[in-house]
Amino acid sequence: MYYKSSLLTDVSVALRNNTLSLPDYITQICDRIKSTDKIIQSLLPEKDRKKRLLKEADKLLKQYPNPKERPPLYGVLVGIKDMFRVDGLPTQAGSKLPPKVFEGAEAKCVTRLREAGALILGKTVSTEFAYFSPGPTKNPRNPEYTPGGSSSGSAAAVAMGLCPLALGTQTIASVIRPAAYCGIVGVKPSYGRISTVGVIPFSQSVDHIGFFTQEMQGAILAASILIDDWDNSVRTGKPRIYLPSDAFLVQSECDVYNRFYKLINLLNAHGYEILSFPLFKEIKKINDVHRELIAAEFAVNHKKLYAKYGDLYSEPSRELMEKGLKVSQPALIADKAIQKTYKESIDEIMQSECIDLWICPSTTTPAPKGLDYTGNPLMSLPWTFTGLPSVTIPVGKADNDMPLGMQLIAAYGKDEQLLQYASELYQILSY
């Protein structure tokens, strides 16, 4: 069912130079949605989607009749996770709450995509409030398996070829994990480099905006549009790559762990020296602090809504809410201080050891079978906690024939370098 023909670079070029008609493109995608998304359920239902898109396409054609003047994402269909406000489309944050409670100005990053010529395909399914209660989305690689969460619909829609680009959010692992489970590229930029304005907050201290594509060149194109102050002039040499060894890596299961080291050997064979450093000796403490921090901020963000609509919250969200309400203000301040300390520590280590890139599995396991669990987030948690940019690239399959991902992490603010390194390693490691 997986459909590998929706490469962002190919689609964007074809639409700009008229080798792919924009109305034909929209018709093809809407037909594909009709035939396949009833199974995968990556998109929220929308009446007259095709009619809306053709009307928007006609307006875009009139605005840019000259192909040479067309913006980089001219006509490209983009999926938007149901945590982002989008003009003309309701927002429910994956919940049963009425859309009116989430109304507001369109998310800045969505507007930026429109300004680059993109058309909004529609809202993609999110787990409730971007937490643990899954939506109906299935994994395009095998519908019996989870696509991961919380950006489940965005990852599945890109993997299914319904759109070449989709937005997601990550508060623990909600971009990297579903991208890895669905066998595509997922990018979580440095904290704050894509604006969260207009996005329903989960935990402001660690909320990141990220995105999905099917290939690295498309990811670089998307990054150049979405990420603030993107610098196309940055050039890199061969990276110094390190493993965050010891307690962190052994959180992954044996199949993932063993295959990861086979890939390390492959990189060695291509002339990359992979060193190790015991970066997260206190990984349990980091995991615990992160969970307490996001629970506390979630409770603050939802306090008024929960008081009025608490009966509409799922059990996992209610449990998170109750946990967050018990976190004192001094405890929250202490958690943020610990976060700051770890950020500074990693920055010092990377500078003193001349580390360009960390490398690790994207997930602890391949996608689990079943749809009631979105998978373990621990391989992404410390990178999200410290705000470092990360990318997952597809690197083959596990014993259960589901995709595996390799996660690459750079220093804070080094997103341009990270995507160049990832592009180089993608050529070696990606299947």
- Marked catalytic residue, from 42, 154, 174, 362: 174
Known catalytic membership, residue 314 = no
C-alpha pair distances (Å), 188 with each of 33, 172, 178, 192, 258: 27, 11, 12, 10, 25
- Nearest CA among 189, 249, 196, 177 for reference residue 418: 189
Amino acid letter, residue 257: Y
Give, for 12, the enclosing helix (H) or strand (E): helix 8-16
Look at strands 390-397 and 185-188 and give their pairing.
Answer: antiparallel
Give CA 103 to chain center in angstroms: 23
Amino acid letter, residue 136: P
- Nearest CA among 122, 135, 102 for reference residue 48: 122
What is the token pair recorded at 47? Answer: 């009446």
Q: 221 Cβ partners below 8 Å, 6+ apart?
A: 8, 9, 12, 72
Known catalytic membership, residue 6 = no
CA dihedral 254, 255, 257, 262 (to 10 degrees): 140
CA dihedral 217, 214, 358, 332 (to 10 degrees): 120
- Marked catalytic residue, from 42, 150, 203, 362: 150
C-alpha pair distances (Å), 159 with each of 31, 119, 155, 184, 321: 16, 18, 6, 6, 33
- Marked catalytic residue, from 81, 108, 123, 138: 81
Known catalytic membership, residue 188 = no
The residues carrying an active-site annotation are 81, 150, 174
